[in-house]
Chain A
Amino acid sequence: MMKILVALKRVPDPDTRIRVKEGVLDLDGVKFAVNPFDAIALEQAIRMREQLGDVEVVVVSIGTGDCVEQLRLGLAMGADRALLISGAEAPDSLSVARILADVYRRERPDLVLMGKQAIDDDSNQAGQMLAALLGIGQATFVSKIELVDGRSSACCARETDGGIETITVRLPAVVTTDLRLNEPRYVSLPGIMKARKKPLEEIQLTDPTLKAPARTRVLKLESPPPRKAGIRVRTVDELVEKLRNEAKVI
């Protein structure tokens, strides 16, 4: 039996507009969702189970009781069981990696799948740090995964700035997923109702090193300046003229 651990982060719904009010996020009326990249990771795990058969998919989330909503969604998508790690105080990427490493040692999965980054803080660090803490291989920004060598390794296509890089990592490994890996399935109410019977275990953090406050602090939040309206040019010459003299990019 192969085991895949998928990390799910609760983030503001990507389709709701986030406002900053007096330096803090205005979460009034904001709905929450599973980080879209994590949903892609979970979709991948479920597809691997559909393809291979004997695979257990475990989802884990770090946070308060609110995260149960996202874990239930993960169970409804098809995960077999869920873990809620509570008791961490506003963890940063390193704290998350440490907690996940602890979960890893407990669960001993063959593969850890997670989004390349969360869409709330866009840190893009937890996966890499987790692999480093555990001393196992990693493949990041992955848009294609295939298990090879009798499921002992994963052949991964990575989306880099220069193009697609294909690497093979020995399992266990941490794989972080990119947008083009798949399109996650849609979960509706009956799916969530059915998933209520699946096991969801809450683990209270007791280890003081794991509960330790984050080392990074958010100093300030501000909205990006509104984009100026575009203009329509009539000719290529006019475009070139504007790019050269107004935008000063050529």
Chain B
Amino acid sequence: MEHIVIIGNGISGVTLARHVRKLSDKKITIVSAETDYFFSRTALMYVYMGHMKFEHTQPYENWFWEKNRIDLKKGYVNTIDTDNKTLHFAEGNTMTYDKLVIATGSKPNKFGWPGQDLKGVQGLYSKQDLDNMQQTAPDNKTCKHAVIVGGGLIGIEMAEMLNSRDIPVTFLVRETSFWNGVLPEGESQMINRHIKNHHIDLRLNTNLKEIKSDENGNVKSIIIEETGEEITCNLVGLTAGVSPNISFLKDSKIETKRGVLVNRYLETNIKDVYAIGDCAEQHEAIGNRRPIEAVWYTGRMMGETLAQTICGNKLQYKPGHWFNSAKFLDIEYQTYGWVFSEHGRPEHEKHFHWKHEDDTKCITVAYNKDTKTFLGINTFGIRMRHETFDTWLTEQRDVDYVINNLKEANFDPEFYKHFEQDILKAYNKQLQTV
């Protein structure tokens, strides 16, 4: 029986395992050094906030794995000998495979800041990070102040977590406005205000210079690059993005760049070795996508796709229309298609932006200014229907159609106030003034 070994029990590896099991009778082993069972990484924040217990982040009950004959192996892979198809574990033992899938995800970026390895400095990615945070910042007496470095999705989650325990947070963001490498200006600035409304000390245009230690090797304070200001703190969250977690591959024959290099079939340069999820890097980016996509959904899609290939129906990874979502404190965000920020926006892309007066809801619709084709939408505080936008993108609807039919795409709960009329009015007004 063919033995499929998957390194990493995140969404990519587990999706793959589930689909391989559905399609075949192969022997499947998932290796992880992080946890015994698959959990939803995106839910770690809710454990710290007390909304859930850690066990609730596990989407499958513990009996699921044995019942579906998916073997779980706890261990850390030190090296991979692809010539002999053998994994060598840090614990000293080995395991052979017929097909190997690398799905080891990411690790938080560290940019060589002095003091970045002190006790109390951490990212927020793994179960261990959660445990560390529980220990460093159990309450606002033990952790009197926290500093978060890096204005992205994980940074704002970490700020929300600390906020839930009334721990004062200073949030250092390198950019001129929160996440404005991705979000257009109007949206980004609305989120700036929302962060401040939560009494989070948001510092834009601000870089970290160094992290200072006390006599026990714990974080004592940080120094800001621009002003030299020293901020006393007990926890420093490093949330300046993530990069593929593949250092264990450096002595193997598997070709890597930032991530594990794969072709459109998610194959590496070595036969029978594949890579999926955050740690995979496409030779050439697919459409507007980045070569490395560190997103929950793409990890899952790669798992769904590769299962077909492994089970004999060779398929390219060919994702459909881009979509994503996040939540910024109390404001939900969804995106369908492509909406570029001021950075890297193609010349033909034009935006229609509408914002509600309460400053917690807005949308941005991107369209081609020459052909009027709808390109994508960002929506904040209003839920939209994935299926509707997916269809409109496939049908290449024009922007007028989308704005006039927005109601069809609304996914807010019943009895919610609708804003389609306001949006349409604003849109027509904008057309007149142009």
A and B held together in a complex = no
Give B residues with C-beta under 8 Å from A.
Answer: none
Give A residues with C-beta under 8 Å from B.
Answer: none
